[in-house]
Structure 1
């Protein structure tokens, strides 16, 4: 079971790529909602995300909650400016701070 936009590099690292928008999120979420974390912490790189809209943001929130229910903490790396702006506009930037690492690998918040 795999998806072209989700690459699991190891039990602790994965990456998302391409567009995370209302066109791609439904199919991607069907895959991710079945995903089972292998560890207690997963770093997810967003460096290869080309575009993200509110549907992509909501999918990431659901992914974080899905992992949390399975005792896995997700950290997002290389968060695109577009996503940071969506977090701010949605007034959830403080809530998401515990799930974001800055480029130096230091946890923000």
Structure 2
């Protein structure tokens, strides 16, 4: 199933190996839009590197004034964000 227009869908495993390439693509998408929704519905597994990616995305979006929103965040990633005291940042 394809993501709706204006939605970037991440999938698979988000870990130290996959994050560098994803960051390049995420940064480019953030810099080229006023608004971007990122769906994590198809993420199979996410490490702390994934959390760092999402937080860096928020920082980049603030710099370039892009409205960035994460949707369908997997519970394991939300739990990691909760423990790291950044859950509210991801959900805002």
Band the TM-score falls in, shorter-chain normalisation: 0.7 to 0.9
Tell me what 2:78 maps to: 84
User: 2:32 pairs with 32, 37, 47, which one?
Assistant: 37
TM-score of the aligned structures, taking structure 1 as reference length: 0.71
Q: How many pairs align?
A: 90
State the shift of 1:9 in Å.
Answer: 4.9
The structure richer in helix per residue is: 2
Offset from partner CA, 1:28-76 (integer Å, 9 cap, x none): 223333332322x222111111110100110011112212212111111
Gap regions ≥5 residues in structure 2: none
TM-score of the aligned structures, taking structure 2 as reference length: 0.82
Rg comparison, structure with higher value: 1
The CA distance in 2 between the partners of 1:9 and 1:67, in whole Å, is: 20
Tell me what 2:67 maps to: 73
Q: Cα RMSD (Å) of the superposition?
A: 2.0
